[in-house]
C-alpha cells in the first residue's frame, strides 16, 4: 500500500512538485535532505497538487462521453447517427454499454482518488497546519460527494466506499444511505472550505452550499434548498452578461458565474487532462477545429430546437441554425456561416466549440482547455425558484419570480408575473442544454410526468437535403427509465452488486 501511495503522490503532484526537488521516499519518515510539507511556501502544501488533480484527471471519461450521453441524449436533447450513442438516443441502454461503463469507472476513480488524498493527509496530519489539513479533507469530501451524486441519480443503489483500502467486493448500499453520505460530505465541505478560493477555479464553501442545495432539491427537501440558495444569492457569484463566454473561450473560464467547474488542461503530449467535447460537437467537414477531429456526433434534437422562444439570446450560443454567422470561428476565412445541410436535424450545437490550433495555442487534436461547468449561479437562481414552487403548479411568490426573471432577463426574454412548473423546467432545459442536466431535471418531475413529456418530444431527423421531410421518432420510456443498469463488467468483477442493497454502517 505504501508503495502505491508513493507512486500516486509522485505522479499526481504535477502542478506543484516540478517547482521543488523531492526524494522518492516522500511518504517515509522525513530526513534532513527530504522535502516535507513544512518546507513549502507559506499557505502551500504538497498535498495541494493532488487536490488540484481532483479538478480534472479522474473525471476525464465521465466528461468525454458519459455526461452528455446520459444527461442530454438519453433524455431527448440530442440526436445522433453514431452507433456508440444509439442506446442512449433510443433510451434502451444495456449493462454492456461501453459509455455507461466508462462513466461508472470514472466516477469511482474520483471517489478512490479523494479517499487516497484523505489517507495521505491523515498520515501526515501532525506536519500540517490545521487549516491546510481541513481544506484537503474538505475538497476530497466535496469531490467524493459530487461523484456519488451523479452515481446515485444515474444508477440508484451503489456501494459506499468511505476510505482507501476498503473491501474489494463491497455490497451496494441503500439509496437513502448514499444520499445521507453525500449530505455529510457536503456539510463538512461547507464548514471547512474557504469562503474565497485560494486559486481561481478552486471551489469555496458557497459552491458546496450550492451542490448541497441541489441534493435537497432532488430529495424534495424544498425548505432546506430555499434556505441555502437564499444564502448564496446576491453575494460573491453573479450572472455574466455574455452567455456564450462560459462555453467557447477558455480565457473566460472561472467567470463570476462559475461555481464549480472541471479545470481542463490541453497539453500536446498528454492524454486525459483535456476537454474532448469540441471534437464530437463541431459540424463535420467544416474545418473549424483545424485538424482531423470535428465529427458532429452530438446534434440538437428537433424537440430542443423548438424549445427556444423567439429572440432568446442563448440560442445562437447553444445551437447553430441556418444562416447563423460566427465571426470568431474560421477567422482566417472571414468567419463561419452555418448551413442546415450540415446536420440531419437541421442544426448543430455551438456550446463547447472554441476554434482551431491556428487561432489558439491551447487547442490540439481532441483537446481544448475549456472548462466543463458543473454548477453555475444561474442554477442557484432557478433552484431557488423551484424550491419555492415546492412541487406546486404555479406561484406568484416575489422571491421565486425575481430569481427566475433574472435568468430570463439575461436571455433577452420578457419577465413572467406568474411562474408555473412548466415554465421553470422549460427554462432549465434551454439554460443548461448540453450541460448534462436535462435527464436529472426530468427525474425530479417523477416518472409519470416525465414519461408524458418524453413521449411527446420529437427526436427524429430530416431525410432530405432541404431538411423538410421529417422522419418522426418518439420515445416512450419504460418503467426502469430513471435507473440505468450497472455495468456488466463491474458485476463480473463483483457479483455481490446483484444482491439487494444493505444499510451502510455510519459508525
Q: In this structure, are 116 and 201 located in the same domain?
A: yes
Quote the DSSP letter at residue 447.
H
Residues 489 and 466 in one domain: no
pLDDT for residue 259 = 98
**Half-sphere exposure in the Cβ direction for 334 (13 Å, CA):** 1
- The reported pTM is 0.91
Per the structure block, which three cell numbers stand in for 466? 432541404
pLDDT < 50 stretches in the chain: 1-41
Residue 11 lies in a domain: no
Statement to judge: residues 449 and 493 lie in one domain: no
Name the pairing type of β-strands 461-462 and 470-471.
Answer: antiparallel
The domain containing residue 85 runs over which residues?
42-246+484-498
- What is the residue whose three cell numbers read 434534437? 301
Q: Helix H segments across 396-446?
A: 398-410, 421-431, 438-445
| Residue 74 within any structural domain of the chain | yes
- Do 466 and 488 share a domain, yes or no? no
**65 and 93 belong to one structural domain:** yes
In a domain, 454, yes or no: yes
Asked if residue 144 belongs to a domain, the reply is yes
Tens-digit pLDDT profile for residues 464-495: 999 999 999 999 998 899 999 999 999 999 99
Q: What is the pLDDT at residue 51? A: 86
Q: In CATH, what number is assigned to the domain containing residue 174?
A: 1.25.40.390
Whether residues 62 and 209 share a domain: the answer is: yes
Q: How many residues comprise the chain?
A: 507
The pLDDT value given to residue 8: 37
Residue 63 lies in a domain: yes
- Residue 148: its pLDDT value, please? 98
Q: What is the 3-state secondary structure (H, E, C) of 70-134?
A: HHHHCCCCEECCCHHHHHHHCCCCCCCCHHHHHHHHHHHHHHHHHHHHHHHHHHCHHHCCHHHHH
CA distance 438 to 441: 5
| Domain total in the chain | 2
Domain shared by 78 and 225, yes or no: yes
Q: Are residues 394 and 493 in the same domain?
A: no
* Cell 426502469 belongs to residue: 480
Angle at 393 between CA 389 and CA 394, to 5 degrees: 60
Residues 385 and 241 in one domain: no
Tell whether 269 is covered by a domain.
Answer: no
**Adjacent-strand bridge partners of 375:** 260
Residues 149 and 77 both lie in one domain: yes
404 and 492 in a single domain? The answer is no
Residue 389 shares a structural domain with residue 494: no
| 65 vs 276: CA distance, rounded Å | 9
**Residue 394 forms part of a structural domain:** yes
Per-residue model confidence as pLDDT tens digits over 495-507 = 999 999 999 999 8
Amino acid at each position: 500500500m505504501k508503495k502505491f501511495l508513493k507512486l500516486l503522490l509522485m505522479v499526481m503532484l504535477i502542478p506543484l512538485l516540478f517547482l521543488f526537488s523531492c526524494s522518492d521516499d516522500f511518504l517515509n519518515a522525513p530526513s534532513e535532505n527530504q522535502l516535507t510539507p513544512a518546507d513549502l511556501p507559506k499557505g502551500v502544501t504538497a498535498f495541494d497538487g493532488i487536490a488540484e488533480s481532483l479538478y480534472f484527471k479522474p473525471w476525464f471519461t465521465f466528461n468525454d462521453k458519459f455526461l452528455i450521453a446520459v444527461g442530454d441524449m438519453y433524455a431527448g436533447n440530442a440526436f445522433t447517427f453514431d452507433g456508440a450513442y444509439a442506446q442512449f438516443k433510443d433510451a434502451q441502454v444495456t449493462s454492456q454499454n461501453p459509455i455507461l461503463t466508462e462513466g461508472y469507472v470514472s466516477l469511482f476513480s474520483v471517489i478512490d482518488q479523494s479517499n487516497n488524498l484523505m489517507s495521505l493527509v491523515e498520515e501526515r496530519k501532525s506536519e500540517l497546519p490545521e487549516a491546510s489539513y481541513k481544506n484537503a479533507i474538505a475538497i476530497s469530501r466535496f469531490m467524493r460527494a459530487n461523484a456519488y451524486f451523479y452515481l446515485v441519480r444515474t444508477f440508484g443503489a451503489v456501494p459506499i466506499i468511505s476510505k482507501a483500502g476498503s473491501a474489494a467486493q463491497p455490497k451496494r448500499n441503500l439509496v437513502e444511505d448514499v444520499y445521507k453520505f453525500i449530505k455529510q460530505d457536503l456539510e463538512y465541505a461547507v464548514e471547512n472550505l474557504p469562503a474565497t478560493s485560494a486559486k481561481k477555479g478552486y471551489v469555496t464553501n458557497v459552491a458546496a452550499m450550492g451542490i448541497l442545495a441541489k441534493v435537497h432539491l432532488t430529495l424534495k427537501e424544498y425548505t432546506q434548498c430555499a434556505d441555502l440558495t437564499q444564502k448564496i444569492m446576491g453575494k460573491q457569484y453573479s450572472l455574466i452578461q455574455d452567455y456564450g463566454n462560459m462555453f467557447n473561450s477558455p480565457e473566460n473560464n472561472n467567470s463570476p458565474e462559475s461555481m464549480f467547474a472541471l479545470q481542463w488542461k490541453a497539453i500536446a503530449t498528454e492524454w486525459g487532462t483535456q476537454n474532448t467535447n469540441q471534437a464530437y460537437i463541431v459540424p463535420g467537414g467544416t474545418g473549424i477545429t483545424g485538424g482531423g477531429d470535428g465529427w458532429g456526433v452530438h446534434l440538437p434534437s428537433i424537440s430542443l430546437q423548438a424549445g427556444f422562444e423567439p429572440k432568446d439570446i442563448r440560442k445562437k450560443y447553444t445551437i447553430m441554425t441556418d444562416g447563423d454567422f460566427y465571426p470568431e470561428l474560421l477567422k482566417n476565412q472571414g468567419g463561419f456561416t452555418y448551413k442546415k445541410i450540415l446536420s440531419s436535424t437541421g442544426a448543430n450545437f455551438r456550446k463547447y466549440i472554441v476554434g482551431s490550433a491556428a487561432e489558439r495555442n491551447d487547442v490540439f487534436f481532441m483537446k481544448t482547455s475549456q472548462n466543463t461547468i458543473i454548477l453555475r449561479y444561474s442554477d442557484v437562481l432557478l433552484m431557488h425558484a423551484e424550491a419555492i414552487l415546492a412541487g406546486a403548479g404555479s406561484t406568484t411568490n416575489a422571491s421565486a419570480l425575481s430569481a427566475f426573471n433574472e435568468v430570463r432577463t439575461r436571455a433577452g426574454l420578457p419577465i413572467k408575473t406568474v411562474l408555473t412548473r412548466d415554465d421553470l423546467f422549460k427554462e432549465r432545459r434551454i439554460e443548461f442544454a448540453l450541460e448534462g442536466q436535462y435527464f436529472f431535471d426530468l427525474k425530479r418531475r417523477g416518472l409519470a410526468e416525465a414519461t408524458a413529456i418524453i413521449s411527446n418530444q420529437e427526436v427524429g431527423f430530416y431525410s432530405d437535403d432541404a431538411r423538410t421531410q421529417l422522419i418522426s421518432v418518439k420515445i416512450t420510456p419504460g418503467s426502469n427509465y430513471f435507473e440505468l443498469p450497472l455495468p456488466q463488467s463491474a458485476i463480473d468483477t463483483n457479483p455481490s452488486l446483484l444482491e439487494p442493497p444493505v444499510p451502510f454502517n455510519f459508525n
